[in-house]
Amino acid sequence: MGPHRPTPELPRHLEQLYTRFPFARSFADDPIAALRPLARDPKRAEIAGIFASTLAIGNTTAIRGAIGRLAALVDDDVLGLVDPSRAAELRRDLRGFRHRWIRGDQLAFLGERLGAYYARAPSLERAFADGLAEGGFARGLDALARVLRGTEGPAGARRPPRGYVTLFPSPLDPGHSAAKRLTLFVRWMVRARYPDLGVWRTIPTGELRVPLDQHVHWIAYHLGLTGRRSRSWAAVEEVSEALRRIDPVDPVRYDFVLCHTGISGDCPKERDLAVCGPCSVRPDCRLWRPTRGAA
């Protein structure tokens, strides 16, 4: 197959997909369900958001379970995760914690990094906004990653545990990572429309980039929003720009829908008329593009 371009009808079909989407079903299965009760408290929402997005690896059931186990250690008050007076206690309580390749000592160190940061700044929004002003969205993510990595601490500061720094890749690193989890965190913080939290008030939604997980990337590729077969920052920019042409003010409004269309099995990722038949974007999908010689 040659290059697949979005059809002229794609904006209308995406809007139909969005309008018909069963948000209630997928919201309950999404990590953001654990954050919504904190939306009125910006600091707690931000703390919960960075831990939840860091744990956003694997299937949604396991992610929600890991978030619940972490919250239980501080009696569901996430301020305890960044309280310097509880750092030693948290390191002890997290010794046996595991979620995929993420370990408890890494999460304890993240709490220490955030505690040190909040001692001098009220919100991670400042770090991201400074980077954004300096060099765009990728630079904003890079600024966040540098804060969280803890590689620029004062002399004598505790060194990050093994594997910790790799939890926070930046698009500006040599590998040009898609930085899905940090991009997701920023979406949660900036967008005020459901299901996101909107606790950051200085970042325009038009600046957002799509958190490119495997489901969104697969669907975006097959709708012609990107021609890149691998998830990279270049693919993030291509998909985000294509969506920005559809909705300049809120380009990532379709992200939740595309992601959970894949997670739920509503997109089987192969031609299956029983499943694909009712799909609003089926006419735009490369799997259903008429082949050469078709009548």
pLDDT of residue 124: 97
Q: What is the CA radius of gyration of the chain?
A: 20
Residues with Cβ < 8 Å from 66, sequence gap 6 or more?
Answer: 55, 99, 102
What's 98's DSSP letter? E
> In CATH, what number does 1-23+209-289 get?
1.10.1670.10
Q: Is 142 exposed, middle or buried (0-12, 13-18, 19+ CB in 10 A)?
A: buried
User: 156-165, 178-187, 197-206: which range is least confident on average?
Assistant: 156-165
- Nearest 5°: CA angle at 68, between 169 and 87? 65
pLDDT digits (tens, 9 = 90+) for 192-239: 999 999 999 999 999 999 999 999 999 999 999 999 999 999 999 999
CA angle, corner 231, sides to 107 and 175, nearest 5? 70
Q: What is the pTM of this model?
A: 0.94
Sequence spans of domains, the chain: 1-23+209-289, 30-203
Average pLDDT rounded to a whole number, residues 270-284: 94
Nearest to 175 by CA among 135, 257, 231, 120: 231
Q: How confident is the model at residue 294 (pLDDT cuts 50, 70, 90)?
A: very low
pLDDT at 6: 86
Q: How confident is the model at residue 153 (pLDDT cuts 50, 70, 90)?
A: low
Res 108 pLDDT > 80: yes
